[in-house]
Structure 1
Amino acid sequence: MTQKIRVIVADDHDCVRVGVMRLLRTAPHIEIVGEAPDTRALAELLDTYACDVVVSDIGMPGIDGASNVVSFLRRLFRARPHPCVVVLTMICHAHMLSGLLHLGVAGIVDKRDTATSLIDAIEAAVSGRVYLSDQVRVAIDTSDAPPQPRAGVLSAREWEVFQLYVQGLAVHEIAARLQRSGKTISTQKRSAMRKLGLETENDLIDYARQIGLA
């Protein structure tokens, strides 16, 4: 590659960021343009520096008191253009991994896989391909409902209903808060679950716990 791939590394663990940056610096075609310990710092970096790929953990402190980066990624993916995102994680729950793909991430790398997987994921992302490391692929392949990458992204309203529901609000309470009918809220909740590959209430709560919403 003649043009370097510009990367921002985001993780709330200092040792992980240092290790990732040390690895990426061994690749002459990759340039690290910033590092962030939380999504607020990540947002500031993205406003300041041109970036091709963001490498981020999913359980990182978020903006507005959230404990994950999902809400931030949703806003990021609505922008045009936006950098590709490669998630670096220890999560092996198939529904969670499916949800990340539905959200629009370009790659998922399990921290237990080989270090070169991350470089492969970055290269795939800038080439427009979806990359799954070995551990991630095994988790998805052994699930009952393999995800369809980049399909079924939740609408803003579905995501809003989903968040309120996993926070403990009943359908009628969400309807009252958002000034919509109970039927509309139920439909949006079911649609969100379907898009995320969640079949039962337990699946929904487990998924929410994995991304820090519950």
Structure 2
Amino acid sequence: MKGHENPADTPDRVRVIIADDHPIVRLAVAASFANLRGYQIAALAQSGLDLLNALHKAPCDLIVTDLAMCWDAPETDGMALIRWLRFKYPAIPVVVFTMTTSISIIRELIHARVAGIVTKDESLSELMKVCQYACSGSKIAVSDMVARRLSASAPPTEIKRKFALSRKEREIVQLIARGMSLTEIARRSGRTTSTVGTQKMAAMRKLHLTSNAELIQYAMLHGLVSS
């Protein structure tokens, strides 16, 4: 786990709100906290709106949330929720527990000043370590996998991600996120499959994404598949 050299002791009874749309994930994370001295579960939330309601009702010292969480409206992306949490509750550390390994999304989370980032490919014990660091220090705590992704990537560049895409590239991202194949997109748009594939790869390079899964998650997080 990367982020701090010597974590301080966490305060007694850190009150945690866990937000994830998968019940098994919520319960597994809650069970891990139950085995961690000095922590208690303040609330479990299954959506972004549930999370905001829980924060309104229950005292909280730590938020652990998935990234792809619907809240105010279906078209409101998960990154906007993170930014809102940081604006509305700046004193509460936010640890993001996410499926994404996209370096561009990781950097956006860092820019949003989250307290920690862990991927769901890693163990719950790694999540607990990051949460402990997040509660005890001022620097962002990232898991080992996230640290490796950051160190292996090129230095960040300024990218206007949504607007860096051409109209056709943006359309392809939207249609892929809705489950359409390149052949179906080509037939619908009157382009060749080869052309569509080239435009898809151009979009992925601009967004610093490496797989269809990351492309679909990016589209969901940024409201490109609201309909």
Do the two structures share a fold, i.e. TM-score over 0.5?
yes
Cα drift, residue 42 of structure 1: 0.4
Name the SS for the 1:35 alignment partner. Answer: strand
Question: Using a 3 Å threshold, how does the CA distance of structure 1 residues 88 and 2 change in structure 2: closer, same or farther?
Answer: closer
Counting only pairs closer than 5 Å after superposition, residues 187-206 of structure 1 correspond to structure 2 as 202=204, 203-204=206-207, 206=209
Gapped regions of structure 1 (runs ≥ 5): 153-157, 169-199
Name the SS for the 1:20 alignment partner. Answer: helix
Q: 2:127 aligns with which of 118, 132, 153?
A: 118
1:85 has 2:99 as partner = no
Cα drift, residue 129 of structure 1: 2.9
Q: Deviations over 1:67-105 (max 9, x none)?
A: 642112212212254411000012111111111111111
Q: 2-side partners of 1:114 and 1:93: how far apart? A: 19
Q: 1-side partners of 2:27 and 2:89: how far apart? A: 30
1:210 has 2:217 as partner = yes
Q: 1-side partners of 2:215 and 2:164: how far apart? A: 10
Gapped regions of structure 2 (runs ≥ 5): 1-9, 168-201
Tell me what 2:189 maps to.
Answer: none
1:129 has 2:132 as partner = no
Name the SS for the 1:65 alignment partner. Answer: coil
Q: 2-side partners of 1:4 and 1:134: how far apart? A: 26
Higher relative contact order (CA 8 A, sep 6+): 2
Q: Deviations over 1:151-177 (max 9, x none)?
A: x9xxxxx9xxx7688796xxxxxxxxx
- Structure 1 residue identity aligned to 2:142: L
Q: 2:53 aligns with which of 44, 54, 62?
A: 44
State the percentage of identical aligned residues. Answer: 26
Q: 2-side partners of 1:104 and 1:208: how far apart? A: 23
Name the SS for the 1:9 alignment partner. Answer: strand
Q: 2-side partners of 1:33 and 1:76: how far apart? A: 17
Q: 1-side partners of 2:14 and 2:166: how far apart? A: 39
Counting only pairs closer than 5 Å after superposition, residues 40-79 of structure 1 correspond to structure 2 as 40-66=49-75, 68-79=77-88
Answer yes or no: is the 8 Å Cα contact 1:24–1:30 preserved in 2.
yes
Question: Using a 3 Å threshold, how does the CA distance of structure 1 residues 125 and 167 change in structure 2: closer, same or farther?
Answer: farther
Question: Using a 3 Å threshold, how does the CA distance of structure 1 residues 17 and 80 change in structure 2: closer, same or farther?
Answer: closer
Tell me what 2:23 maps to.
Answer: 14
Q: 2-side partners of 1:87 and 1:71: how far apart? A: 13
Cα drift, residue 32 of structure 1: 0.6
Q: 2-side partners of 1:167 and 1:208: how far apart? A: 15
RMSD over aligned Cα atoms: 3.0
Q: 2-side partners of 1:82 and 1:165: how far apart? A: 34
Tell me what 1:179 maps to.
Answer: none
Task: Give the alignment's TM-score, normalised by structure 2.
Answer: 0.66
Question: Using a 3 Å threshold, how does the CA distance of structure 1 residues 107 and 2 change in structure 2: closer, same or farther?
Answer: closer
Q: Deviations over 1:44-85 (max 9, x none)?
A: 000111111110111122321136421122122122544110
Task: Give the alignment's TM-score, normalised by structure 1.
Answer: 0.70
- Structure 2 residue identity aligned to 1:22: A
